[in-house]
Amino acid sequence: MLVIYPAFLEFKEIMIILVVAVVIFGPKKIPEIARGLGQAVRKMKEATEDIKQEIMNPVADLDPSKEIRETIADLDPTKDIQDAFKSADPSQDITKALEDPINDLEKSILDQEKDPKEAVVNKVKQVQETIEIAKSEVEIQTEQELGNGGSVSR
């Protein structure tokens, strides 16, 4: 029994096939036929890839360890602690504490008609006092954190 493997064609056999194709279809039709064959092969490859993905995706969705890992990540208590430390920023607290006196200073300067110089001096003193209070609060908070944990962590 004679078995022909297309991958093992010799040069002579390939040339004979090409000559027969040119005689049958003509030299103008050969490029169109080649393009059509190329498109057909490309579509076959895409179809096989789609089939492979459809077969493999349900297997990936059945992985129970994925759900377990997500549940453990959601229940992780250290995540809440880390978020709390990220949100605790003394510089933001100081900035917020200083915004009101600065706004009051601007308002009082604009509102004062009698003695604007004296109003500015009084408001500057108030702002300085507020800054000192904020600094002392930060120092107290830092000392408390150092006393509780030994070091300030962020």
pLDDT digits (tens, 9 = 90+) for 109-140: 666 556 667 767 777 888 888 888 888 888 88
Residue listed under structure tokens 């915004």: 99
- Would you put residue 112 in left (φ > 0), alpha (ψ -120 to 50) or beta? beta
Query: pTM of the predicted model, to two decimals?
Result: 0.30
- The count of other CB atoms within 10 Å of the CB of residue 123 is 19
Reported as half-sphere exposure (CB side, CA atoms, 13 A), residue 59 has a value of 5
DSSP three-state, residue 152:
coil
In DSSP notation, 68-96 reads HHHHHHHT-HHHHHHHHHHH--HHHHHHH
Residue pLDDT, tens place only, 54-101: 877 766 566 677 777 788 777 777 777 777 666 666 666 667 766 777
DSSP three-state, residue 26:
coil
How far CA 109 is from CA of 84, 124, 126, 130, 146, in Å, comes to 39, 11, 13, 18, 41
- Averaged pLDDT, 104-110: 68
- End-to-end C-alpha distance for the chain, whole angstroms: 81
